[in-house]
Amino acid sequence: MSGSGCFIGLIFELIKKVFICGLLVIFMDYAVYTTESFDKEVDKLNRDEQEIIEKMFLKIKENPYSSDQLRYRNLREKRIREKRVYFLVYDDLQAVLIVAISGKKEQQATINHIINYFDEYGEYLEKILNEN
């Protein structure tokens, strides 16, 4: 019996488990990717903001839904000071694509752009996944 306890302990270390309404839900880490345009925008930020974004990636990897939902369930944002980072969650691919960063003034235009290019972003991510 103690041997199975060790095994269960090991499983708890490898994956996160959350009990919701008596059901066991297992959250696996998501792979996080960025677009080239996002990378260029991040390069313009100061080092402090870049470090905050790196830490944010780790949180998104663990649970992309711990962010603000926008118009659609898989369109999300996280705020970094006065800026917002926008990303798309692809549950079927167990991946997140970080697509844009903008200030509050450009927020609606950025969201509209993401929605207009939603299919292209999906194709871009699938291309990246197929190359890996």
Domains assigned to the chain: 29-131 (3.30.2310.20)
- Spatial separation of the C-alpha atoms in residues 88 and 75, rounded to whole Å: 5
Are β-strands 95-103 and 31-34 bridged in parallel, bridged antiparallel, or unpaired? parallel
Instruction: Note down pLDDT in tens along the chain; length 132 residues.
Output: 444 444 444 444 444 444 444 455 555 788 999 999 999 999 999 999 999 999 999 999 988 988 888 888 899 999 988 899 999 999 889 999 999 999 989 999 999 999 999 999 999 999 999 987
pTM value is 0.76
pLDDT at 55: 92
Distances (CA, A) of 56 to 51, 67, 126: 9, 10, 23
Question: What's the pLDDT tens digit per position in 79-106?
Answer: 988 899 999 999 889 999 999 999 989 9
- Averaged pLDDT of the chain: 82
Distances (CA, A) of 44 to 12, 20, 33, 71: 40, 42, 19, 28
Strand partners for 23: 20
pLDDT at 2: 43
